[in-house]
Amino acid sequence: MSRTLEILDRLIAFPTVSADSNLALIDYVQDLLARAGFAVTRIPSPCGLKAGLFARIGAAEGGVCLSAHTDVVPVAGQDWTRDAFRLTRDDGRLYGRGTTDMKGFLASALALAERARHEAPDAALSLAISYDEEVGCVGIRQMMPTLEPILGRPRAVIVGEPTSMQVAMGHKGKAALEVTCHGQSGHSALAPNFTNALHLASGFVTEMVALQDALAQEAKDPAYAVPYSTVHVGRMEGGRALNIVPDQARILMEYRHLTDTPGPELRARIDAAAQAVASRFGAPDGITVEEVNAYPGLSTAADAPVVGWAQGMAEGAEVTKVAFGTEAGFFAALDLPTVVIGPGDMARDGHKPDEGLDLSQLAACETMMTRILADLQA
């Protein structure tokens, strides 16, 4: 595991917070993969300040694709007791931003890539490496027009988000929405004569509470901690002064949906609620709902061949579903057999100060990589 730890040390040292560039890390990874004999395609972001990579050794058909993102969440405002961007080791754990989410997996995949050059797998090994996953899987969506034609048809895709090395078959899809409520400004002494945008907003939020109550009684999947689809209002703002009737209010919200509650159907119910509230206030066009971002869910069948194969690679790991979103749905949407497996515990360490990774988890990931390489040579 020494080479993996060397690579992880380098990866942690790149402060690839989503708001900042990842190009220095990408330069390092691109050089490593090229020296390992991989054909590497660099995929710049539209802004040019970030990039992703796709690299492959071997034929385009079959084989295994390992997927990872390079960005991490911020450390600002968190109470770290050690340098967040320096890998440290203490009492069986590795510390640093990204150790769990998800540079530990990426380091193990890159170490595998170096081994693959010398051990000549018969089937293809490929790596898909993205940016801006932490802000809603933005990077992989931007990469897809370039990535899809060159991705080939791997027989298995592993997205290495932290699952404690269990085989995750599913997660909910998500959409983030911006809701704008349009009222009329006026003097507060005459407030009843005007449409108050905050009243529209509060009426809409009340409808979202009712929608959540309804969803809790509908489709359920007990594999999730919250077994039904959810709507969540995270922010509401509006108004300029106490004596001015607000002419605009803004709500930021999201929904996360099960496969049995398709996203478009849930969005239609939200739109209908917005129209009903606006009409109630005599302002039929008073509420607009716009999608800010979305990513697909993952729903791989328990009896799919990729699940049994992945359990073998991960030493008979249990199957599970995860509460958080990943990039896996983008690969599954291409009809590629996809699962999520990676070292680390998201609940324990994800997005937290003093983020860490148990060495035993990284060792289990290394074992999985060894099994994958052997499988590619079979």
- Which are the catalytic amino acids? 71, 133
User: What does DSSP assign to residue 127?
Assistant: E
E-only strand ranges, 64-212: 64-69, 88-90, 93-95, 125-130, 156-159, 167-171, 173-182
Angle between helices 359-377 and 104-119 (to 10 degrees): 30
For 181, phi and psi rounded to 5 degrees?
-105, 125
Q: Are 72 and 25 in contact (CB under 8 A)?
A: no
How far apart (Å, rounded) are the C-alpha atoms in residues 132 and 138? 6
The tokens describing 100, both together, are 């769990």
- Compute the residue count for the chain: 378
Look up residue 206 and give its amino acid.
Answer: T
Q: Are 337 and 156 in contact (CB under 8 A)?
A: yes
How far apart (Å, rounded) are the C-alpha atoms in residues 134 and 324? 11
Taking each continuous run of H as one helix and of E as one strand, the counts in the chain are 10, 16
How far apart (Å, rounded) are the C-alpha atoms in residues 136 and 176? 9
Among 2, 9, 16, which Cα is nearest to 114's?
Answer: 2
Neighbours of 89 (CB within 10 A): 13
